[in-house]
Amino acid sequence: MTLQDRIQTLEEHARGRIRHALETGNEKLMELDGALARVATDDWSVPRMRRHLGELRARAEDLRATAVKRAGELPAQALTQLVSRTRTPVQTLARELADIARRLEPPAPAKPVVVKPEQPEPAAKAS
């Protein structure tokens, strides 16, 4: 490969890179032009901006209210899920523990039978 061939190869690579850079630059310029066109058509007056900020503020309040409501419902939902899924096993466990407790308790002492002494019937008076 001669010096002239190397220079020609280098020149071709340089032209390719320059062409690529120009194409990329043109694409970016077109994107920027589109963005500027969108911004230029917007109404940037003070009343319009106030109205827009008011709309954003209202949306933020709605989102806040929704988030607070959901956060308040979350513990109740969690508790409901916990109770509904564990109710039967807990009831079964309580019954079994009651049975075991009855077996382990000493029998209750027998109540003494109170015998009332018989009172003689009053004799009928003869008149």
63/100 same-domain check = yes
pLDDT tens digit string along 73-113? 777 777 777 767 777 777 787 888 888 877 777 666 667 76
Q: Is residue 112 part of a domain?
A: no
pLDDT tens digit string along 15-70? 999 999 999 998 999 999 988 888 777 777 888 889 989 999 999 999 999 888 88
31/62 same-domain check = no
Q: Is residue 111 part of a domain?
A: no
Q: How confident is the model at residue 120 (pLDDT cuts 50, 70, 90)?
A: low
34/69 same-domain check = no
- ∠ CA(6), CA(11), CA(14), 5° rounding? 125
28/75 same-domain check = no
pLDDT tens digit string along 27-40? 999 999 988 888 77
Domain limits at 88?
A: 46-104
Total of domains in the chain: 2
Helix (H) or strand (E) holding 110: none
Q: Is residue 1 part of a domain?
A: no
